[in-house]
Chains A and B, each alone.
Chain A
Amino acid sequence: MSTTVTPPPKKVNRLGLEVLSYKGGKTTLCAGCGHNSISERIIECFYEMGVKPTQVAKFSGIGCSSKSPAYFLNMAHGFNSVHGRAPAVSTGAMLANKNLVGIVVSGDGDTVSIGLGQFMHMLRRNVPLTYIIEDNGVYGLTKGQFSATADLGAKLKTGVINDLPAIDVCLAAIELGATLVARSFSGDKRQLQAILKTCIAHNGLSIVDIVSPCVTFNDHEGSTKSYSYMKEHEEPVHEIDFVPFFEDISVEIEEGTTQEVTMHDGSILRLKKLGREYDPTDKMGALRIIHEAHSTGDVLTGILYVDSHKENFLDMLHVVDQPLATLPDTMTRPPREALNQIMEELR
């Protein structure tokens, strides 16, 4: 009998990579911050989906949320840019290299206040990116001022009441052209995972508004972005199953209660309905239920809208398949005869 103990085989994904290859640096955010849970989900999703980490590019603006790309996927290039401008930087990078898998992590101040203009135009363009808004209704890094997603009547720890209405990013996103729009809660591990995997598979712009409580400045009674408020008011519109294209599993489908959406890459999104007559491919219906939830104070979560057919921005530009960034001179510099011809025309 041998005395050597064989260590259990290391768990790897379809690329043969361990989850370690998807980890980031140590977080510097507050203990218990919802953003840290989101980083964990991002790591799990890229690992489980078997996306090559070196193919990913991470982007952010400025704020607590925008620090988080440093806390996942160390093997991916990252760009922590300027406040509210991650849409432009990420769009530019995707123009340069269409083979990148782009993920943007922003916050409510970054996206909905200073960056609202850029955000709206990114929606129009349907740039193929996963755009996450870590939404806590306050500016954490400047110590707890209201942002534009804070609900009317929400109360700060200091007693200050928000007297302006909130901007609902999901409504804006559906209206202006994003092709996958979801809302989730940082504490809802299973739903968030399924949503993020769908975003990674989606060939267009995905917007995910994730309510992510700020434990330091906005997790008290009177806040509508606290853990306790979300536990009481989160209302999933469906249960989500995401089946990546490479998985060969069959799931029982209950007739009439489950809707399937085939994603561009062949993956399947399965949405099991929870008591509502709701079709996330119906734009008007999606807008309606979000408005209805506003009136009852509920926070609807799930994939609120999906269009898996619309052409994305890079396809519209009709660029060559290779990344523009690394095209050879022979493709980027016209020949001598071209210059001669132009000069002749100008004589």
Chain B
Amino acid sequence: MSTTEVTPVGPHTNGHAGPVINDFSIQVATINGSGSQTANNVLMRSLFQMGIPVSGKNLFPSNIAGLPTWFTIRASQHGYIGRKKEIDFCVAMNPETAQEDAAKLDAGAAIVYDEPLKLNATRSDLHFYPVPFDKLVGPVCPEAKLRKLVRNMIYDGVVGHLLGIDFEEIRKALYKQFGPKKVKAAELNWNAVLAGREYAEKNLTKTDPFQVQRTDKTAGKIIIDGNAACALGCMFAGVTVVTWYPITPSSSLVESLIGYLKRFRIDKETGRATYAVVQAEDEIASIGMVIGAGWAGARSMTATAGPGISLMSEFIGLGYYTEVPAVIFDVQRVGPSTGLPTRTMQGDILINALCSHGDTRHPMLFPSSPEECFTLSGAAFDLAEFAQTPVFVMSDLDLGMNNWMAEAFPYPEQAIPRGKVLSAADLDRLGGFARYRDVDGDGIGYRTLPGTDHPSAAYFSRGSGHNDKAQYSEREDDYVKNVDRLSRKFETIRKHLPAPDIQSNDTASIGIICCGTSRYGAEEARDQLKNEYGIEASYYRTLAYPFHPSIHDFIERHSRIYVVDQNRDGQLLALMRLEFPVDEIAKLRSVRYYGGMPIDARTITDDILRQEGI
């Protein structure tokens, strides 16, 4: 049975008896490049400033200007910030999509639209709010060429009035958005907001039930996108070499990082940079530089997306086999090939786990929120240097490019751990070293950095077969010994990864396993199953690969496990199948969504119900 079947109801009730407070989604349909992003961010931020938990999702085309784009804001007094499938309040600004935008709405939804579009003629079960945007924009914006941009600000005034948003918060959000250097532009836009409000006050009668009310659920919180959060994580982890090649949706990660580094990582005494950032000619060069820098001792990183990973794979194998620290941010988008560059997916789980030819395994960290983007970025550098190997941070477009409400980030208290690096003094004491010898039994050897002033410091790194002294070897026993040690190292890594997020329920017979941004849909689905169907489900979110040993216990304690994947082939599930015992694999079931939008709770709930035979 599907839970999305809705019995049509009259427009004035929307199935609710009274007003719907702080619990709705707004979708704004505009044209790419029309300045709507500012209007949308101001709207989102003003709700946030009123203490209402919000999330914003930008659905945009792979294009600079002229194609349709949709921005969705969800306000949720329960704190749900995943995508909501149903739209409650629509702002239709794009004539090309307006008919379809209106047609997609459930009965009872509200729609603000450009008056000439006459959407009220298309159906009768919505709350219609026509606004003559072109007439309103003229008086507030005498300069004709700016009108396209200012026009969108008018809907902030209209929507603000209809929902009851505090206009002082809109004003604050707007001036914050423009910053102290663009006060004039802010004034122009503020006048547009006021014009919208004035029109709505005089001409529109509110008939829909959606309202906002000031609350205190966002106190102390911040709004940030995942890419900027990763950037901050890198800066506070002490990153020193950053090399990159622009690719959607990862570019803004490095661009944010550059902005922060310029502000906070210039040596006060000399005025010089304590970092180097290089935009490389392609992803092969960017990962090559990262590996070279990591080999020479820098905390080095790159950020990319699927197509970049495909290009980098030979170097990632080199990093694995020569054992060089490297951090690779993969802000995943829809593949294969160019795919849908501006849509989200968890499509690189398998390729990254096993990236490059031969037997390779790579650790991955799965952030699900800006806080985790910050902390796991730091953890990735620590792990890369601890284990001397490339580490992936698996973000995605939804997390990376959308604005999220988040807790303020914790300052890293521990000194930066640099792993097993021998100094000249260590070599004096030891008399020498063998680069790939497993002295500590954890599979991780000791390394020296180029430039270490000691006659025994040097070793020769090579992607060809080598013995524990880093000498060229094609001997069977040397090869086997070396790759077995690398397996041992992978087991050591398993013990040093962030712990999973487990919410177990003793009476539950089913469990949900997920990673990254699937959490929002999965957590809400768990509540839906319980509140709407009385079905208890336990929850396990892995923050890393290799999997934590506790995952076996979790599977053991439940009859059926639903593994949530945002890809067609169930890649997280496939990774579990690769290494879990047969009796555990038999319990695993797949819940998948791969349409390019962030996965929503209803999709998960419905699929679990279907598979449960309900």
Let me know if A333 is at the binding interface, CB within 8 A.
yes
Q: How far is the CA of A70 from the CA of B294 in the complex (A)?
A: 21
Q: Which of B239, B280, B408, B412 contacts A88 (CB 8 A)?
A: B280
Within 8 A of B (CB), among A290-347: 317-321, 323-327, 329, 331-334, 336, 338-339, 342-343, 346-347
CA A85 to CA B311, docked complex, whole Å: 13
Interface size on A, residues (CB 8 A): 58
Closest A residue to B235 using CB positions? A334
Is B296 an interface residue, CB under 8 A from the partner? yes
B275 contacts across to A, CB distance below 8 A: 319, 324, 332
A95:B289 contact, CB within 8 angstroms: yes
* Selected interface stretch from B25-33, B127-135, B259-267, B386-394: B259-267
Q: How many Å from the CB of B386 to the closest CB on chain A?
A: 16
Contact A92 B292 (CB under 8 A): yes
Complex Cα distance, B481 from A150, in Å, reads 42
Give A343 to B281 CA distance when docked, in angstroms: 34
Asked if A37 CB lies within 8 Å of chain B CBs, one says no
When chains A and B are docked, how far (Å) is the Cα of A80 from the Cα of B472? 11
Decide: A54 near B457, CB < 8 A? Known: A80-B464, A332-B265: yes
Other-chain contact of B285, A74, A88, A99 (Cβ < 8 Å) = A88
Check: A228 CB closer than 8 A to any chain B CB.
no
Given A321-B270, A342-B232, verify A78-B284 contact (CB < 8 Å). Answer: no
Known contacts A318-B272, A319-B276: does B461 contact A79 (CB below 8 Å)?
A: yes
Tell whether A324 pairs with B276 under 8 Å between CB atoms, given A54-B451, A81-B463, A118-B284.
Answer: yes
Task: Report Cα–Cα, A75/B472, bound state, in Å.
Answer: 16
B299 within 8 Å of A by Cβ? yes
Q: Is B241 an interface residue (CB 8 A)?
A: yes
Contact of A324 among B237, B241, B264, B281 (CB under 8 A): B241
- Considering only CB atoms, which chain B residue lies closest to A339 in the complex? B411
Q: Report how far A301 CA is from B222 CA in the complex, Å.
A: 64
Residue A97 interfacial (CB < 8 Å): yes
Quick check: A92 and B293 within 8 Å, CB to CB? yes
How far apart are B266's CB and chain A's nearest CB, in angstroms? 9
Query: How far apart sit A100 and B294, CA to CA, in the bound complex (Å)?
Result: 14
B315: Cβ under 8 A from any A Cβ: yes
Contact, CB under 8 Å: A89 / B280: no
How far is the CB of A172 from the nearest CB of chain B, in Å?
15
Asked if A52 is at the interface of the complex by the 8 Å CB criterion, the answer is yes
Bound complex: CA A346 to CA B221 (Å): 8
Give chain B interface residues in 307-325, CB to chain A under 8 Å. 314-315, 318, 322
With an 8 A cutoff between CB atoms, is A64 at the interface? Answer: no
* Chain A min CB distance to B538 (Å): 34
Within 8 A of A (CB), among B427-463: 448-455, 457-463
Determine if A274 is an interface residue (Cβ-Cβ < 8 Å).
no
Complex CA gap A88/B311 in Å reads 14
Per the bound structure, the CA–CA distance linking A142 and B443 in Å amounts to 34
Asked whether any CB of chain A lies closer than 8 Å to the CB of B282, the reply is yes
Q: Which residues of B contact A339 (CB under 8 A)?
A: 232, 236, 409, 411
Residues of chain A within 8 A (CB-CB) of B61 are none
| Interface residue ranges of B443-498 to A (CB < 8 Å) | 448-455, 457-464, 472
Q: Which residues of B contact A213 (CB under 8 A)?
A: none
Complex interface: chain A residues within 8 A of B274 (CB): 319-320, 324, 327, 331-332
B285 with A121: CB separation less than 8 A: yes
Closest Cβ–Cβ distance, residue A181 to chain B (whole Å): 20
Write out, one digit per residue, whether chain A residues 67-98 have a CB within 8 A of any chain B CB (1) or not (0): 00110001111111110010111111111110
Least distance between B253 CB and chain A CB atoms (Å): 16
Answer yes or no: A13 CB below 8 A from chain B CBs.
Answer: no
Given A79-B292, A320-B273, A97:B222 Cβ within 8 A: no
A346 lies within 8 A of B223 (CB)? yes
Query: Shortest Cβ distance from A295 into chain B, in angstroms?
Result: 33
Most A CB contacts (10 A, CB to CB) among B260, B293, B296 go to B296
Q: Is residue A207 within 8 Å, beta carbon to beta carbon, of the partner chain? A: no
Task: Indicate the member of A89, A117, A317 with the most B CB atoms within 10 Å.
Answer: A89
Give chain B residues whose Cβ lies under 8 Å from the Cβ of A323: 296-297, 451
Q: A96-B292, A97-B450 are in contact. Are A78 and B240 (CB under 8 A)?
A: no
| Distance between A128 CB and nearest chain B CB, rounded to angstroms | 13
When C-beta atoms are compared, the residue in chain A nearest to B267 turns out to be A320
Q: Which of B238, B416, B454 has the most CB of A within 10 A?
A: B238
Q: Which of B221, B239, B241, B300 counts the most A-chain CB atoms under 10 A from its CB?
A: B241
A100 touching B296, Cβ below 8 Å: yes
Chain B 144-167, CB-CB to A under 8 Å as 1, else 0, gives: 000000000000000000000000
A-B contact pairs, 8 of them (CB 8 A): A69-B460, A78-B458, A79-B461, A80-B461, A95-B243, A96-B240, A117-B281, A324-B274
Contacts from B to A (Cβ < 8 Å):
220-224, 232, 235-241, 243, 260, 264-265, 267, 270, 272-276, 278, 280-282, 284-300, 314-315, 318, 322, 408-409, 411-412, 415-416, 448-455, 457-464, 472
